[in-house]
Amino acid sequence: MKDYYYFLGISHDASEEDIKKAYRKLSLKYHPDKNENDDFFADRFREIQEAYETLSDKSKRYTYDQNLESQQKSFRYNVPPFIKTFTANKIHAKKGEEIIINWQTQNADVVKVLPFGLEKPYGERIFKITEFKDGKFQILLHATNSLLHKTVVQGITITEVFETEGEKFRDKAEELFKSQPRTVANPHGQPKIMKIFVAIVLIVLATYFLIKSFSN
C-alpha cells in the first residue's frame, strides 16, 4: 500500500492547507511539461496527483487512514529490512550509454532508488547517464521498515570510460571551463579555470616579491 503522506512529504496529521501547499509545490517541480516529458517525472507527477486526490477528500482520507493503519499493524514488527539483490548490467559505461538496474528487497515498506526516488520493493529501471561526477555515477538503494525505523543501504558505482584519450581530455577541459554552483566561497559561480588562474598569478607575485626582497 502506497504511503501518500510520504509522497507529499507531510506528516500523518497534516491539515488540509498543508496538503494543498505540498501538492502545489511538488506538482510544479515534477510537472512533465517542465521536464521534457521525462518518464521519471511523469511517474512522480501521477503519484503526487493520486496522493492529493485521496488526502484532499475527507471521506477518502478517512478510509485510506483506516486501511493504512491496518496494514501497518499487520506488518512484521520484528523483522528488519533486507536487500536481497541490487545489480547493474554494467559498472563501466560511456556517457549516454544505457544502464539497466534490478533490485529486490524484503520487509521494507518504503523503498527508494537514488537519484530517481520512490520505487516498488522490487523492480527494474533502464536509464542513460548524461553526467558523471569525477568520473563516477553512484546509485543508492534505500530499503526502510518505517515501523522499526530501520533502513539498509546498498550502492552501485558506475565508472566512466572513454573511447579515446582525446575524448577524455576534452571532457576534462570542458569541466574546467564550465560554470560552477554558486556558494559562499564562489558567489558568482566562476569556473574552475579561474581558480587555477588566480592561484598561478598569486604564486608568480609571491615568487617575484620573494626574489626582490632577497636581492635588496
Q: Is the same domain home to 155 and 173?
A: no
Distance separating alpha carbons of residues 9 and 5, to the nearest angstrom: 6
Q: Is the same domain home to 86 and 154?
A: yes
Q: Is the same domain home to 150 and 204?
A: no
Phi and psi at residue 188, to the nearest 5°: -100, 0
Among 136-140, 171-175, 191-195, name the one with the lowest average pLDDT: 171-175
Tell me the average pLDDT of the chain: 83
Distance separating alpha carbons of residues 130 and 121, to the nearest angstrom: 26
The model's pTM is: 0.47
For residues 130-153, average pLDDT? 90
Q: How many residues does the chain have?
A: 216
All cell numbers assigned to 57? 477528500
Span 10-69, pLDDT tens digits = 888 899 999 999 999 988 888 877 767 677 778 888 889 999 999 999 999 999 998 887
Q: Contact, 128 vs 51, CB < 8 A? A: no
Cα angle, residue 27 at apex, residues 35 and 14 outer, rounded to 5°: 150
Q: Is the same domain home to 184 and 211?
A: yes
Statement: residue 187 has pLDDT above 80: no
Distance separating alpha carbons of residues 125 and 25, to the nearest angstrom: 26
pLDDT at position 153, please? 96
Residue that is last in its domain, among 118, 142, 160? 160
Q: Is the same domain home to 60 and 13?
A: yes
| CATH code for position 68 | 1.10.287.110
Read off the pLDDT band of 2 (50, 70, 90). confident
Q: 170 or 114, which is more confident?
A: 114
Q: Give the whole-number percent of the chain exceeding pLDDT 90.
A: 35
Q: Is the same domain home to 89 and 150?
A: yes
Q: 192 or 117, which is more confident?
A: 117
Residue that is last in its domain, among 18, 45, 74? 74
- Domain span including residue 24: 4-74
Q: Is the same domain home to 99 and 154?
A: yes
Statement: residue 92 has pLDDT above 90: yes
Distance separating alpha carbons of residues 9 and 89, to the nearest angstrom: 32
pLDDT at position 186, please? 66
Q: Contact, 95 vs 170, CB < 8 A? A: no
Q: Domain tally for the chain? A: 3
Residue where the block lists cell 609571491: 206
pLDDT at position 21, please? 93
pLDDT at position 201, please? 77
